[in-house]
Copies of this chain bind each other. A is one copy, B any other.
Amino acid sequence: MKTFDEITQIVSSALEQLDWSKEPHGLYEPIGYVLSMGGKRIRPAMTLMACNLFTNEFLPAIKPALGIEVFHNFTLLHDDIMDRADIRRGRPTVHKKWNDNTAILSGDVMQIAAYQLIAETPVKYLKPVLDLFSQTAAEICEGQQYDVEFENRAKVEAEEYLEMIRLKTAVLIACALKTGAITGGANENDAEYLYDFGINIGLAFQLKDDLLDVYGDEATFGKKIGGDIMCNKKTYLLINAMQLAEGEIKEKLSGLLQSKTIEPHQKIQSVTSVFNTLGVKEICEEKMSYFYNKAIANLDKVSVSDTKKQELRKLAVKLMYRED
């Protein structure tokens, strides 16, 4: 069994071999730029690892794995336009470095490029992989739509939030794993267990992200701490806080959310202190553990030896206990 690091190495070299120097440069250059920004390559690595559970080779999974990674980066590109985000991973986003139209059109062709990679799945697995990919891609757009809609809503239920992050984040991880299983020749049950493993680990992963935004270490997290708090993002923490707050605490929280004059540092500190008073950190951690345990139970059911599953298990631990 190859380790996660060895596998991300394979993914990275394969990604680097994709040619974005084609003409018109103005269209393809931004794609190379986005992909060169890095990222952990977790999704394509998962595709290869899942494939590797059922066969000794990675080859049938590589192209669809790259398709999933290209698609993931496409969603970041278009989301950054919609969110007016100027910086990603320390570098200017495409719509900032070029312009909105370039970001729209390069994104469009990037989505097509993702499909072209998916289309290189071995032909006997093409139809199920393609259908899963399209369904997932549509769900991710649905998740993004809910995310945008929630911003403008006064109240979002915890369950609605979990469904939104399932669509926006978890389904692509699940798709990555199931695609690997399919191309590895897994039976339908095992492919489905890996899908469910992905959904649950994806939900846990996003809750971890919500936690890191408030309780993470800025030096290792890579993003500014408190970014979600500053833009009143309705994360699992804030949704639960709004649900639980009563009396004075409720007024304090409303005031913090509505204030347009409060200093960033002060707002982050005060909202965090409300979170602490209400114990929403623990609520979030508990929910995260709940999904993590469900994920592991799904992985346990996959009918291959424990030795083979070890790397995926280690990756799950790594994602849960990460500090970045």
Asked if residues A138 and B113 are in contact (CB atoms below 8 Å), the reply is yes
Q: Which residues of B contact A141 (CB under 8 A)?
A: 27, 105, 108-109, 112
Q: Which residues of A line the B interface, CB within 8 A?
A: 23-24, 26-27, 78, 81-82, 101, 104-105, 107-109, 111-113, 115-116, 119, 123, 126-127, 130-131, 134-135, 137-138, 141-142, 144-146, 148-149
Q: Is the beta-carbon distance between B24 and A142 smaller than 8 angstroms? A: yes
Query: In the complex where A119-B127, A127-B119, A144-B105 touch, is A134 in contact with B112 (Cβ < 8 A)?
Result: yes
CB nearest to A143 among chain B residues = B24
A142 CA / B112 CA spacing, docked (Å):
12
Identify 14 new A-B residue pairs, CB closer than 8 A, beyond the known A82-B101, A112-B134, A116-B138.
Answer: A26-B145, A26-B149, A27-B142, A82-B104, A82-B105, A105-B144, A108-B108, A109-B137, A109-B138, A112-B137, A112-B141, A119-B127, A119-B134, A130-B130
Q: Is the CB–CB distance between A105 and B145 below 8 Å?
A: yes
- Interface of A: prevailing SS: helix
This chain's copy number in the assembly: 2
A157 to B98 CA separation, bound complex (whole angstroms) = 26
Contacts of A113 in B (CB 8 A): 138
Closest to A75 in B: B108
Contact indicator A24/B134 (Cβ below 8 Å): no
Q: Of residues A27, A112, A131, which shows the largest number of chain B Cβ atoms within 10 Å of its Cβ?
A: A112
Count chain B CB atoms within 10 A of each CB in A26, A104, A148 and give the residue with the most. Answer: A104
Q: Are A116 and B134 in contact (CB under 8 A)?
A: yes
Chain B residues near A144: list those with CB within 8 A.
105
Cβ contact within 8 Å between B119 and A131? yes
Choice from B24, B111, B127 contacting A149 with Cβ under 8 Å: B24
- CB distance A145 to B27 under 8 Å? yes
Contacts of A109 in B (CB 8 A): 137-138, 141-142
Of all chain B residues, which has the CB nearest A149? B26
Residues of chain B within 8 A (CB-CB) of A148 are 101, 105
Q: Measured between alpha carbons, how far is A24 from B109 in the docked complex, in Å?
A: 25
A182 to chain B, nearest CB (A): 15
- Closest B residue to A133 by CB, please name it: B115
Nearest neighbor of A24 in chain B, beta-carbon distance: B145
Q: Provide the bound-state CA to CA distance between A22 and B134, in Å.
A: 16
A145 to B26, CA, bound (A): 7
Task: Give, as a whole number of angstroms, the nearest-CB distance from A316 to chain B.
Answer: 29
Indicate which residue in B26, B104, B130, B149 contacts A119 across the interface (CB closer than 8 Å): B130
Chain B residues within an 8 Å CB radius of A24: 142, 145-146, 149
Chain B residues within an 8 Å CB radius of A130: 115, 119, 126, 130
Of the A-B pairs whose beta carbons lie under 8 Å apart in the complex, a sample of 11, sorted by A's number, is A24-B142, A24-B145, A27-B141, A27-B142, A105-B145, A105-B148, A108-B111, A108-B141, A116-B134, A123-B127, A126-B127
